[in-house]
């Protein structure tokens, strides 16, 4: 990793969020590039040596999981933090398996993101849940797992669960409920 102005890529379809985060990171002396979709992220990764990336889990119709896979294949040492407003156990696990080093839920401030880049070890002292997941949260987790098992294909996932595609889309568009 270079010591001065490390290269960092933000991949998110929310332009306002990208601009705000970019300015905050530039103040901390990162050289920031922004991609609003998977294709732009891949192109930027081919053009420059990226040391860090902040990747949203949902980027328009693209999956942030595909972005992680592409970035790691082009730059194996890249340190990726996933940000999402749609957190689920299955996407957290898959993000880490694909090469992300941390997974944060939105809203996360720039200091939390920067700490996550350098958080190399797990925390055995993290608080464990004392209550089981709610039925609504369990449904959300199940939907995410089935969707992942069908490579993000909503129609195939809906068929597998015996529901209409629009019903699944509606359920997925809602933010997950807290445990």
pLDDT digits (tens, 9 = 90+) for 67-118: 999 999 999 999 999 998 777 788 889 999 999 999 988 878 899 999 999 8
Average pLDDT in the 121-130 region? 62
pTM, entire model: 0.72
Residue with tokens 């609504």: 136
**Which of 102, 110, 104 lies closest to 27, judged by CA?**
110
Q: Which two tokens stand for residue 27?
A: 């103040």
Q: Which domain holds residue 149?
A: 135-173
Supply the mean pLDDT for the chain.
85
Residue 124 pLDDT exceeds 50: yes
What is the rounded distance in angstroms from the CA atom of residue 68 to the CA atom of residue 78? 10
Together in a domain, 25 and 79: yes
Nearest to 172 by CA among 146, 135, 134, 133: 146
- The model's pLDDT over 21-57, given as tens digits with 9 standing for 90+, comes to 999 999 999 999 999 999 999 999 999 999 999 999 8
Domain identity same for 12 and 75: yes
34 shares its domain with 76: yes
User: What residues contact residue 174 under an 8 Å CB cut-off, 6+ apart?
Assistant: none
Same domain, 105 and 162: no
For residue 163, the domain's CATH number is 1.10.10.60
CB 46 within 8 A of CB 4: no
Dmax (CA) of the chain: 54
Q: Kindly state the tokens that stand for 5.
A: 């102005």
For residue 127, being part of any structural domain is answered with no
Please report the sign of the dihedral spanned by the C-alpha atoms of residue 94, residue 97, residue 98, residue 104.
Answer: positive
- Cα→Cα distances 146→7, 62, 94, 100, Å: 35, 17, 13, 21
How many domains, the chain? 2
Neighbouring C-beta atoms of residue 87, cutoff 10 Å? 19
Q: Which helix (H) or strand (E) holds 173?
A: helix 165-173
Residue 29: per-residue pLDDT:
94
Question: Facing residues of 56 across strands?
Answer: 83
Percent of the chain topping pLDDT 70? 88
pLDDT at 136 over 80: no
Q: What CATH number has the domain bearing residue 49?
A: 3.40.50.2300
């Amino acid at each position: 990793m270079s010591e001065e102005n490390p290269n960092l890529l933000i991949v998110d379809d929310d332009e306002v969020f990208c601009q705000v985060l970019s300015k905050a990171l530039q103040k901390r002396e990162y050289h920031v590039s922004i991609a609003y979709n998977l294709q732009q992220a891949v192109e930027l990764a081919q053009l420059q040596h990226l040391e860090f990336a902040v990747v949203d889990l949902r980027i328009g119709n693209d999956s942030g999981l595909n972005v992680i896979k592409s970035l790691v294949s082009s730059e194996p040492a890249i340190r990726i933090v996933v940000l999402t407003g749609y957190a689920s156990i299955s996407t957290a696990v898959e993000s880490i398996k694909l090469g992300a080093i941390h997974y944060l839920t939105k809203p996360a401030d720039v200091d939390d993101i920067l700490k996550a880049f350098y958080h190399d070890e797990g925390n055995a002292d993290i608080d464990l849940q004392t209550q089981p997941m709610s039925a609504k949260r369990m449904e959300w987790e199940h939907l995410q797992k089935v969707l992942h098992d069908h490579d993000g294909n909503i129609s195939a996932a809906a068929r597998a669960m015996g529901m209409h595609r629009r019903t699944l889309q509606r359920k997925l568009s809602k933010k997950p409920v807290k445990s």
